Amino acid sequence: MPISSERSGARAPSDEELLFRYLNEIGIIHQLSSTAFQRVLPYGLTGAQFTVLNRGTLTSTLARLAAKKFIRLVPDAIDGRSKRVLLTAAGRRAREQSIKASWPLLEQVKTVLSPRAAAQQLPTLEALREWLDRNR
């Protein structure tokens, strides 16, 4: 879902868009910090392998997403033992609908995190994410 940017002179984002961006920054920071964590894992483990050690449900989760036609699993051209996960058009629509479905929850989030506070903190989260991204 494209988010308007005040920097481009477009309209100000809605409260829901702003809160989604805020929480999305936290998610990206989590992903990047997980990548940093992966670098120090012992035994040559990858992040995905560590996830499976913590949560053995990854295969069934992918199978359920494939059954809903949200993803396609295809053999990796280089490593035949691996599979690549491709997002389908239905998967993109499901993602967009999922974001919009979160808006009632984000209305409740406003009781503890005002859009103004999110707007003030968002640049700090973005800066942290950008730093983690540059230094991965």
Average pLDDT, the chain: 85
Domain count across the chain: 1
What is the C-alpha to C-alpha distance for residues 67 and 58, in angstroms, rounded to an integer?
14
The percentage of the chain sitting over the pLDDT mark of 90, rounded to a whole number, equals 39
Whole domain around residue 21: which residue ranges?
14-134
| Chain centre distance of CA 93 | 15
* Domain membership flag for residue 8: no
* Domain membership flag for residue 7: no
* Domain membership flag for residue 51: yes
pLDDT for 20 equals 92
Number of other residues whose CB lies within 10 A of the CB of residue 133? 13
pLDDT classification of 1: cutoffs 50, 70, 90: very low
| Chain centre distance of CA 71 | 16
* Domain membership flag for residue 6: no
What is the C-alpha to C-alpha distance for residues 19 and 125, in angstroms, rounded to an integer?
12
Report CA-CA distances (Å) from 109 to 1, 5, 93, 105, 113.
Answer: 20, 22, 24, 6, 6
What is the C-alpha to C-alpha distance for residues 22 and 116, in angstroms, rounded to an integer?
11
pLDDT for 24 equals 93
Alpha-helical runs (H) found in the chain: 15-39, 47-54, 58-67, 89-101, 103-109, 115-134
* Domain membership flag for residue 4: no
* Domain membership flag for residue 9: no
The percentage of the chain sitting over the pLDDT mark of 70, rounded to a whole number, equals 90
pLDDT classification of 17: cutoffs 50, 70, 90: very high
pLDDT classification of 56: cutoffs 50, 70, 90: low
Q: And the tokens for 115?
A: 């859009």
Q: What is the mean pLDDT of residues 40-67?
A: 79
* Domain membership flag for residue 1: no
What pairs with residue 83 in β-bridges? 75
pLDDT tens for 86-116 read 999 999 999 889 888 888 888 888 998 899 9
What is the C-alpha to C-alpha distance for residues 20 and 95, in angstroms, rounded to an integer?
13
Query: Residue 67 sits in a domain of what CATH number?
Result: 1.10.10
